[in-house]
Amino acid sequence: MNFAAVGRPLGCLKTALRQTRQNRAWQRSLAAVAAPEAPNASKPILTARQRSREERLARFQVYPEIPTVRTDFKDPMPVLRQAQITMLDPTGARTRLFAKDQADAAKPGDVLMVSTKNGEPFSGYLIEIRRRGADTAILLRGQMMKTSVESWFKVYSPTVTAINIIWRRPKRARRARLTYMRKPEHDKGSVDHLVAAWKKERSTLRSKSGSGGAKQQKARGK
């Protein structure tokens, strides 16, 4: 006896019944969409149980939604952050120095020198800029005693007296974090020669401006 021949029609019958049920449900849904309810159509007849349930629900009063901070009130934090930055940086020089939309702003790969009240100036390559409002900080990598050192500095900290750009990277870096400079093959080493050249150029410009002012004073005296 061939059991495959006996079992096959049974499976086909189940498939046919399933398709028939799906077609009926589809036709019912089409009929409901195609035939909209008439304006004067009578309401469906409710049973006693359904009618009592609607009556019980009608007794409850629905109160309006309570206003929330997200929907009806403005977030006060941006205003507070801006007020704090304005208090710490009245001139806005440091904000422009590390702003994204400024062409002359400091970028990763530049050499910066940070002067503080409690220590000597620290110079190094700018590896990362962490923008967090008043907690904005920069990470510099330099050398001290022929040892590579990294240090974080708060941009708006009262202990930071000055931030100067010593040298600008000729080509913009492709990354926002130059952590690959920690590897020996990419370590730039000391930046003392760049700092010395910057100080020499600065002193030359100051001497020229001073001599020009002295000449003008002499000319006025004559």
Which of 126, 124, 122, 123 has its CA nearest to residue 107? 126
Q: Which domains does the chain have, with CATH numbers?
A: 79-206 (2.30.30.790)
pLDDT in tens, the chain (222 residues): 444 444 455 556 778 788 888 887 767 665 555 445 555 556 677 888 888 888 888 888 878 877 766 665 677 788 889 999 999 999 999 999 999 888 889 999 999 999 998 888 999 999 999 999 899 999 999 998 889 999 999 999 999 999 999 999 998 888 889 999 999 999 988 999 999 999 999 898 888 776 665 556 655 655
pTM of the model: 0.61
